[in-house]
Amino acid sequence: MCTVTCTHRPSGYEIFFNRDEQRSRKPAEAPILDAADGVSFIAPRDGNHGGTWLAANEFGLTVGVLNFYQAEKSSPSRDLLSRGRLPILMASSASIEAVEENAAAIDAQRYRPFLLFAVDRKLNAYTVSWDGSVLSPGEDSFPARPISTSSFSTNEVIEARMKLFDHMAAKHGGISSDWLSGYHASHLPSRSAFSVCMHRDDARTVSFSHIIVDTEQIEFRYFGCSPCEAEEPLTATLPLRL
């Protein structure tokens, strides 16, 4: 249950990510500086399993993972690893090609269905989905529309979020960071499972992340609450390796 969007900027890009989770899950830890195989990266940490849903490294590469609910109903039930391990495994990648190679080496059978994406400073991208049986590479550029998932009324929820996105893009004459934060905080068509800022009795949008990759550094702004409640973010920065 998440929604992610991306927009280009003259010297990089911005990622906006709503993380939706069950209310019963433990709070996540705010983004911290970490390293994998000598490569520095910034990532928040899941409170239950210690993995992450979003990581940005010193090469200006961002990797994220979402649950692939459309495939989970047909996926076999067994003891599996947390999908939050995947962005950590990709965090040392210096390029989109390296992410692709690392993803191909994953023993996907050990994970529940997922959608994995990576994007670099030129907005080159790699996306791959795992449905429990087949690992399927997708787009080589970040989708113009959001990547969104929901465990509840999946198709209807995604359709509502896409419809709102298309309306806002048409209203503003294109995609830009000026209105994407508002999109992620939106309660249209109602404050419910269908809104991008999601609220249900059993789950809600628990955090909002905004990554800005520019000419010299990565800035990771993290709001550890629903974006409709956001005030001042916790911010971590990392110089780019040029």
Residue length, the chain? 242
pTM as predicted: 0.94
Q: What are the boundaries of each domain within the chain?
A: 2-151+203-239
Query: How far is the CA of 59 from the CAs of 48, 95, 96, 240, in angstroms?
Result: 28, 8, 10, 6
Q: Along the 242 residues of the chain, how does pLDDT read in single tens digits?
A: 799 999 999 889 999 999 999 898 899 999 999 999 999 999 999 988 889 999 999 999 999 999 988 776 655 556 789 999 999 999 999 999 999 999 999 999 999 999 999 999 988 999 999 998 999 988 777 889 999 998 889 999 999 999 999 999 999 999 999 999 999 999 999 999 999 999 999 999 999 999 999 999 999 999 999 999 977 899 999 999 97
Write down the H helix ranges in 85-133: 85-90, 96-104
Domain 2-151+203-239: give its CATH code.
3.60.60.10
